[in-house]
């Protein structure tokens, strides 16, 4: 399989999004709206459409869930230690920045690539990734960051858990997973016109997501502490895939297709809202710079990983 033939169209669309915003063919203010369209309509359409036609047992791969969760959580704590070592012990900001190293952009980067590599499995992998990221990795990372915050003594564990729980129950993607599971378990078949409508929305996801990635990079620059940026990018693009590969090697009887999916996801750059999550902890500028660096560098690492696994 031609690896560059897989990634070149995707990064071309990212470049198109960047240039469109850079030269005002598309306003910077439009990017959050497009991103919300993808997150509220397109991705839920993919999830509901896929889950409603399959049983949960056909979709949820326990080996993938375990390996992905272990690799992501381990990456977070390794990154926390490394970033803290170069930022003179600033635990709060280091923890916020380590979130980016642990959370791949499975929706806006991983999914479009998987559509090229394994179109029949892409939606299944996306559902499992979303569950692991939103129910395991992100809550743990946010709780750790809250603990290191200067005002954490004024916040109870229950209060932090409550805010995270509210974030989860209002997440349209997790709501879509719940709806899809209900349809799957009940055996209810969606009317044809609804199923076809979901299919149209699903097809819009990949291109729109890549335009969002490119457009969101406009205005970012690599002007921060290069040692910190390099640490974050290295953890995301090198350490996390390396941990995934190690676990794949040690794991017993892990399906080959799911192995490929795991390597693609872990080699993806961090999720787009990383600077937004880092902002309350005073790390938005560094997060935005590392998002730019990691997204650009991922062209090399993703091609390398794809050449290795395909």
Give the pLDDT score at 89.
67
User: Which of 226, 303, 294 lies closest to 264, judged by CA?
Assistant: 303
pLDDT tens-digit series, residues 223-247: 667 888 999 999 999 999 999 999 9
CB atoms within 10 A of CB 124: 23
Residue 64: partners with Cβ closer than 8 Å, 6 or more residues away: 125, 128, 254, 258, 261, 262
Residue 310 is assigned to a structural domain of this protein? no
> Rounded mean pLDDT of 277-283?
85
**Range of 12-21, 44-53, 283-292 with top mean pLDDT:** 12-21
User: 122 with 114: CB under 8 angstroms?
Assistant: yes
Virtual torsion, Cα 281, 284, 286, 290, nearest 10 deg? 120
> Rounded mean pLDDT of 294-303?
93
pLDDT at 1 over 70: no
Sign for the CA dihedral angle at 19, 22, 26, 31 comes to positive
> Rounded mean pLDDT of 59-74?
94
Residue 70 is assigned to a structural domain of this protein? yes
Give the pLDDT score at 150.
57
pLDDT at 149 over 80: no
Residue 127 is assigned to a structural domain of this protein? yes
pTM of the model: 0.85
> Rounded mean pLDDT of 292-301?
92
Query: Which residues form the domain of 150?
Result: 3-305
pLDDT at 263 over 90: yes
188: CATH:
1.20.1530
Please state, in angstroms and rounded to a whole number, the distance separating the CA atoms of residues 78 and 91.
Answer: 13
Residue 110 is assigned to a structural domain of this protein? yes
Provide the domain count of the chain: 1
């Amino acid at each position: 399989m031609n690896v560059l033939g897989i990634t070149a169209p995707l990064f071309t669309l990212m470049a198109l999004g960047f240039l469109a915003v850079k030269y005002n063919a598309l306003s910077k203010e439009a990017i959050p709206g497009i991103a919300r369209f993808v997150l509220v309509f397109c991705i839920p359409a993919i999830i509901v459409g896929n889950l409603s036609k399959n049983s949960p047992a056909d979709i949820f791969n326990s080996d993938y869930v375990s390996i992905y969760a272990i690799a992501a959580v381990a990456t977070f704590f390794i990154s926390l230690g490394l970033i803290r070592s170069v930022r003179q012990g600033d635990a709060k900001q280091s923890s916020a920045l380590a979130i980016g190293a642990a959370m791949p952009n499975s929706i806006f980067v991983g999914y479009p690539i998987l559509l090229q590599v394994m179109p029949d499995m892409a939606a299944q992998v996306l559902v499992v990734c979303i569950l692991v990221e939103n129910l395991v990795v992100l809550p743990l990372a946010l709780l750790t960051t809250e603990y290191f915050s200067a005002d954490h003594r004024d916040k109870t564990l229950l209060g932090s858990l409550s805010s995270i729980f509210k974030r989860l129950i209002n997440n349209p993607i997790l709501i879509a997973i719940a709806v899809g599971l209900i349809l799957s378990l009940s055996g209810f078949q969606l009317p044809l016109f609804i199923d076809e409508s979901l299919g149209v929305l699903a097809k819009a996801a990949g291109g729109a997501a890549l335009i969002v990635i490119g457009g969101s990079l406009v205005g970012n620059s690599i002007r921060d502490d290069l040692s910190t940026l390099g640490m974050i990018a290295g953890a995301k693009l090198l350490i996390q895939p390396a941990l995934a590969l190690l676990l794949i090697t040690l794991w017993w009887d892990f399906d080959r297709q799911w192995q490929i999916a795991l390597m693609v996801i872990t080699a993806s750059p961090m999720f787009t809202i990383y600077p937004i999550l880092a902002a309350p902890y005073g790390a938005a500028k560094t997060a935005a710079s590392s998002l730019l660096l990691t997204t650009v560098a991922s062209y090399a690492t993703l091609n390398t990983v794809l050449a290795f696994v395909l």
